[in-house]
Amino acid sequence: MTLTILTIPFFVIIALIAIVAIVLLILLLNGKKYKEECIVLQTDVSKQEQQLAEYQNLYSQKQEQLSKIAQEYESASNDLKASIHYAERIQRAVIPHEEEFKALFPDCFIYFSPRDIVSGDFYTCASSPYFRIAVVADCTGHGVPGGFLSMLGMSALKDLLSKQKITKDFNPGEILNSLRTFILTSLAEASETDEATVSDGMDISLCAFSDDFSQIRYAAANHTIYLCRNGEIEKLKGNRMPIGRHPKQDNPFETFTCDLQKGDIVYLCSDGIQDQFGSPADIKFTTKRLAAMLLEHSQKDTQTQLADISKIVNDWKEGRDQFDDQTLIGIRI
């Protein structure tokens, strides 16, 4: 048996060595490039981590700032609410209690529902040996602005009733004239400085019932008084102008009279109920529905009327926000 030795040509060996060298060189170059890319990536990651840390730090600072602002806002809000509730207590102290009102009008009800904590509506009463006075007023706006104006109006009205005295010649129209003069004078400075015309003021009904309830003298500014008798309703209208700035502000308010009978019921109200939006159609209650509601319930006792009317108004809203302050007073003769 003869052993054969394989002989590889020299140039093949050289070629193989060259190939191996090239492969090693390529691997070396790629490894260096990969290492450089890794360094770049590590640098980018480090930068991103640093930026993320900065963002987290900034976020924490903003969170602290927002938390501080929220605490300051809550504190200011609580202070404001406390002030408004204090204003409500002052307003409630000035508005007659139900017992005080019923001392003059034994058979009556008072529906008083402010839209906000304080009310732009107010009511009051007064008396003398000759007359028993009932007043319902609706000041411009509601909430705090309306509340301030109502306090101004109540103070002025009580002062006027005290100064002019409620004698047998008592004239409700003259009281409204004097009240308008006071309001215009008090708001004159604001009227002169504001670019827009200041229309602050109030609508009001002032009724003077004779001590024996046989007659009513009344004056009204943009208000309607309702009289129900024997299944019919009559609208006692005053003057179509407010207590405040108006093209007719130089015209005097008139005093009207109306004879009363036992069993009659007189209603004084603001426009809050008639302007309330409600029903599936999202429409106003309107004066027509208001008059129909009053007539329908006029034969019931006053406390039943109060309960029924309160339910009707609440049902009408159907969960909607109250649109305005609401006041309705019914006085049975």
Judging by DSSP bridges, how do beta strands 283-284 and 326-332 pair with one another?
Answer: unpaired
**13 belongs to a structural domain:** no
Which CATH number characterizes residue 209's domain? Answer: 3.60.40.10
Burial of 249 (0-12, 13-18, 19+ CB in 10 A): middle
Residues 127 and 155 in one domain: yes
As a residue count, the chain comes to 333
**122 belongs to a structural domain:** yes
Q: What is the pLDDT of residue 144?
A: 72
**138 belongs to a structural domain:** yes
Where a domain ends, among 76, 94, 112? Answer: 94
The structural domain count of the chain equals 2
**Could you tell me which residue, 294 or 86, shows the higher pLDDT?**
294
**Considering the chain, what percentage of its residues have pLDDT values greater than 70?**
88
Question: Which residue's entry shows tokens 């730090």?
Answer: 57
Residues 59 and 183 in one domain: no
Residues 236 and 296 in one domain: yes
Residues 89 and 139 in one domain: no
For residue 284, pLDDT over 80 is answered with: yes
Residues 117 and 171 in one domain: yes
- Span 196-207, average pLDDT: 80
**14 belongs to a structural domain:** no
Distance between CA 198 and CA 188 in Å, rounded?
9
Choose among 169, 93, 178: nearest CA to 131.
169
Where a domain ends, among 68, 94, 120? Answer: 94
Paired tokens of 246:
């108006």
Residues 87 and 143 in one domain: no
Residues 50 and 188 in one domain: no
**289 belongs to a structural domain:** yes
For residue 81, pLDDT over 60 is answered with: yes
**11 belongs to a structural domain:** no
Residues 74 and 113 in one domain: no
Q: What is the pLDDT of residue 196?
A: 45
**56 belongs to a structural domain:** yes
Q: Which domain holds residue 89?
A: 21-94
Residues 191 and 172 in one domain: yes
Paired tokens of 128:
């003398």
pLDDT tens-digit readout, 116-131: 888 899 999 999 999 9
Residue 214 gets which letter from DSSP?
A: S
pLDDT tens-digit readout, 26-46: 766 676 666 777 777 777 777
Residues 27 and 112 in one domain: no
Q: SS3 for 310? A: helix
Residues 49 and 179 in one domain: no
Distance between CA 331 and CA 250 in Å, rounded?
32
Residues 128 and 209 in one domain: yes
Reported as a pLDDT band with limits 50, 70 and 90, residue 189 is low
**1 belongs to a structural domain:** no
Reported as a pLDDT band with limits 50, 70 and 90, residue 138 is very high
Average confidence score pLDDT of the chain: 87
